[in-house]
Amino acid sequence: MIRLLKKTVFGLLTVSFTIGQSANASPIARPTKVIAKESSVSNRELLGFIKTQVNAISLQDHLIQNLPEHKLEEKLLLEFENAQKYFLSADVSNAIAGFKRVIELSASNDWSYSSRKIIHFCYLRLAQLNGPPYSETWDALAFDSSMKIDLSLIPPPVVEAYNQNKKTLNFKTIEIGSGQRVLVNGKLLLESTQVPDLDADFRITVIANDSPPSTVIWNPKEGEWIAPKVEPITGDCATFDEKKFSWLAKNTQILFKGNCVFNSSSAQTSLHLSQRNGEKAKPENRFKADKDLDLLPRQDNDQNPIFKSQIDESESWIQNKWVWIGAGALVAGFIIYNQSQSKSESKDRKKSKTVPTHDFGFSF
């Protein structure tokens, strides 16, 4: 009878949330032109030139937006949905195995904010299921120590352990070149290039305006940080050989000294260089064809003023999606649904899409 009642309550808590631009949000002009630079051109010069163009975006911002591998994000959601099913059916062993399958993906992609939220949550759910000393809270801190915990979804003992461990964290600095940006497990670092000094694999992607993005899997306990070596764009406007830089998307413009602009005609799909820390970078097909890329800024870090117009929408999504209902059980409703997307929707990530799921709470 109790189980039947529980299923009925959970059924009533199942809610669909529409994610997309609110009716009151101002329309955002979509950039249509990607501009890179030759290595001797400064980022200041590049940004100054971009300001003179219509609907233009830097190569760096363009790549940051398009790094998440959408198929991997779909797989992540599917694994999470399955883990939640086991959790709700009180199948502890399979629930633990399911949440582990989610976190095994943690270093496989430059995750979007919503996916990082799920992975971080799964670490904490594992801490809850495995019990004291809640060692998975360290893994959650390694993955994203700045992620906020929804106190309505995670039991107080786990939250307390997480906060206590966070107070003792030490950090290591990632040295990068001037004008480069760093993503750690998909999170864009803006004010600092530090990661927790823990025994964990960090996916670190370095992005610049004059070279292909490169990814290193680095464990601070296995050695010092070694910046990935990539070949920057070099040459001059008159003699530039674009065949040497086939990773550039078709029709990318390249700014040289003296405001000379080279129009790339390469039709090659962009390449992404991936390596283990200290190993030679290996090329891998990493980006979609140019026609499939979304040129909007990455909806990620609320500290970045450049992307501020996108943040309110991202935050409202979290407020809607991670809802909870209290009164004793403190059960939360969360829906994950893999709705098939049309090609037009994949081109425009601002288009509304319905997302599904399941319910979870502190206990069974």
Mean pLDDT by 10 residues, the chain (364 residues): 37 28 42 90 95 93 86 95 95 97 96 96 97 97 95 95 97 88 92 89 95 94 88 89 84 90 59 50 37 38 32 32 28 33 36 35 42
Q: What pLDDT score was predicted for residue 251?
A: 79
Q: What pLDDT score was predicted for residue 282?
A: 43
Q: Where are the alpha helices (DSSP H) in 154-268?
A: 156-167
Q: What pLDDT score was predicted for residue 108?
A: 94
Distance CA 194, CA 197 (A): 9
pTM above 0.85, yes or no: no
Q: What pLDDT score was predicted for residue 216?
A: 93
Alpha carbon separation from 57 to 26, 110, 181, 248 (Å, rounded): 19, 20, 15, 14
Tell me how crowded residue 129 is: count the other CB atoms within 10 A of its CB. Answer: 15
Q: What pLDDT score was predicted for residue 305?
A: 30
Q: What pLDDT score was predicted for residue 105?
A: 96
* Residue among 148, 282, 270 at smallest CA distance from 211: 270
